[in-house]
Amino acid sequence: MQRLLFAKIEFWVVLILFLIGTLGAVGFGAAVLDGERETHRFGPIGPAALDIAEIPDTLKELLSKDLSMAAFVPNRFADKPAGWTFAAGAKETGYVLLSRYDGDRARHIVELVSLADGMVKHSWAPDADSLLAGTPRDSRIAEYTNWNTTHYRAIHPILTENGALIIKDHQSFLFALDACSKKVWGQTELLFHHSTESDGAGGWWIPSYIEPSKIERVSPDFVEDSLAHIGADGTVLENISAAEILLRHGMEYALFTAGRYQKDPIHINDIQPVLEDGPHWKKGDLFLSFRHLSMLMLYRPSTDEIVWQQQGPWLAQHDVDILDSHRIAVFNNNAYDKGTGARVHGTNEITAYDFDTGQTSNPWVQMMEKPDVKTLFEGLFRRMPDGNFMVEEENSGRLLILSPAGDTLAEFINKAGDGLSYRLGWSRYMSAEDGDAVLAKLGGACAG
Q: Is residue 159 part of a domain?
A: yes
What is the mean predicted confidence (pLDDT) over 89-93?
85
Pair 177, 129 in one domain: yes
Whole-number Å distance between alpha carbons of 440 and 448:
15
Instruction: List the one residue out of 406, 375, 372 whose CA is nearest residue 388.
Output: 406
Residue 253 is given by DSSP the state: G
Per DSSP, helices labelled H in 226-328 are: 242-248
Domain span at 26: 10-63
Query: What crossing angle do the helices spanning 45-53 and 11-37 adopt, rounded to 10°?
Result: 100
Q: Is residue 77 part of a domain?
A: no
Residue 40 confidence class, pLDDT cut points 50, 70, 90: low
Q: Is residue 420 part of a domain?
A: yes
Instruction: List the one residue out of 135, 95, 122 whose CA is nearest residue 178.
Output: 122
Q: Is residue 1 part of a domain?
A: no
Average pLDDT, the chain: 92
Pair 52, 168 in one domain: no
Pair 14, 156 in one domain: no
Pair 58, 92 in one domain: no
Pair 437, 381 in one domain: yes
Q: Is residue 303 part of a domain?
A: yes
CB 170 within 8 A of CB 151: no
CB 193 within 8 A of CB 155: yes
Helix (H) or strand (E) holding 37: helix 11-37
Pair 296, 355 in one domain: yes
The tens digit of pLDDT for each residue in 22-33 reads: 777 777 777 767
pLDDT of res. 24 = 72
Q: Is residue 71 part of a domain?
A: no
Pair 319, 284 in one domain: yes
Pair 288, 432 in one domain: yes
The tens digit of pLDDT for each residue in 214-273 reads: 999 999 999 999 999 999 999 999 999 999 999 999 999 999 988 889 999 999 999 999
Structurally, the chain folds into a number of domains equal to 2
The tens digit of pLDDT for each residue in 309-334 reads: 999 999 999 999 999 999 999 999 99
Pair 269, 371 in one domain: yes
Pair 157, 29 in one domain: no
pLDDT of res. 27 = 74
Instruction: List the one residue out of 372, 408, 426 whose CA is nearest residue 100.
Output: 426
pTM of the model: 0.85
Q: Is residue 3 part of a domain?
A: no
Beta bridge partners of 271: 288
Q: Is residue 163 part of a domain?
A: yes
The tens digit of pLDDT for each residue in 340-350 reads: 999 999 999 99
Pair 211, 112 in one domain: yes
Instruction: List the one residue out of 129, 152, 127 whose CA is nearest residue 142.
Output: 152
pLDDT of res. 447 = 61
Pair 51, 112 in one domain: no
